Amino acid sequence: RGIRQILRFDNRVHLVLQRFFFRGESLGVYKLGGLEFLVDHAAGDASGAPEVLTQPMYADYLSYLTPSRPANVLDIGANIGGFSLFLARHGVHFNRLVAVELNPRTCIRLRFNLERNLRGEIVVMNAGLCGRARPLELLLGEGSVADSLYGPSFNASSRSTMVPGLTFDAIHERAFGEAGVDICKMDVEQAEYEVMDNAGHDRLRRCRVLVVEIHDVPGRSHRDVADAIVRLGFEQLSQGSDKSVYVFRNAGEGHPAS
């Protein structure tokens, strides 16, 4: 699957040669349709942005993710920027993009990738999304798509890292104030349950389209999260091929691509 994925990129020959003959080289540059972004293979980045850009997990919902006007986008759990690069790949122009990432080391690659490829106002925020605000003391490594509030990273350092834990309302306030968000994506490695179980997510109602990856948690159902979002005034769209990805449209906002 990794090789098939690489073959989708414009610089496929270089990437294949690096994979087979220079495996000790951790950093790679992927190119696709004018996009050029940095990936750290040792940190697990290859299972993030490259997959987002080549797999149907978000492409199944393109008609809801391509507004005709420059968009306000909030990406929580941004990793190295795959979702925002995906939107740009499909013609989305950004008014203001706020990308929130838990791991400060990943934020370095995230900022590089966004500022190199995108236009508009770009803000990178190092924070974790929580159901209740608190400082987070985490064992993090060089960055991973699976970095979580609830356990050490697979490549964790022995030294802990302090990261601010913020509610959705606090992130929205810092990122957009009273303005609305056209597209919000959350991929927060099980913290979605904590968020919806607690207060502090009222400003979700200011989002026109909400994309949530809901993870499996023992004793919990994806419906715990999805139904809580519906109760806030959202309509759940029919699911695509990736059954962990849920997309909701604000019932009071109409179709975002109109």
The two three-digit tokens of residue 39, written as one number: 């990936």
Tell me what pLDDT residue 154 has.
80
Tell me what pLDDT residue 150 has.
94
Instruction: Tell me the pLDDT tens digit for each residue of 17-37.
Output: 988 888 788 899 999 999 999
Tell me what pLDDT residue 13 has.
95
Cα separation, 229 vs 177, in Å, equals: 21
The number of CA neighbours under 13 Å toward the Cβ of 206 is 18
Give the residue from 40, 35, 30 showing the smallest Cα distance to 6.
30
The number of CA neighbours under 13 Å toward the Cβ of 11 is 16
What residue ranges in 16-93 does DSSP mark as E strands?
A: 27-32, 35-40, 71-76
Residue 108: which residues within 8 A CB-CB, separation 6 or more? Answer: none
Question: In 3-state terms, the chain is what percent helix, strand and coil (to 5)?
Answer: 35, 25, 40
Tell me what pLDDT residue 42 has.
85
pLDDT along the chain (258 residues), means of 10: 86 91 88 96 87 94 95 98 98 98 96 97 98 96 90 86 97 96 98 96 96 97 98 96 96 56
Instruction: Tell me the pLDDT tens digit for each residue of 44-97.
Output: 888 899 999 999 999 999 999 999 999 999 999 999 999 999 999 999 999 999
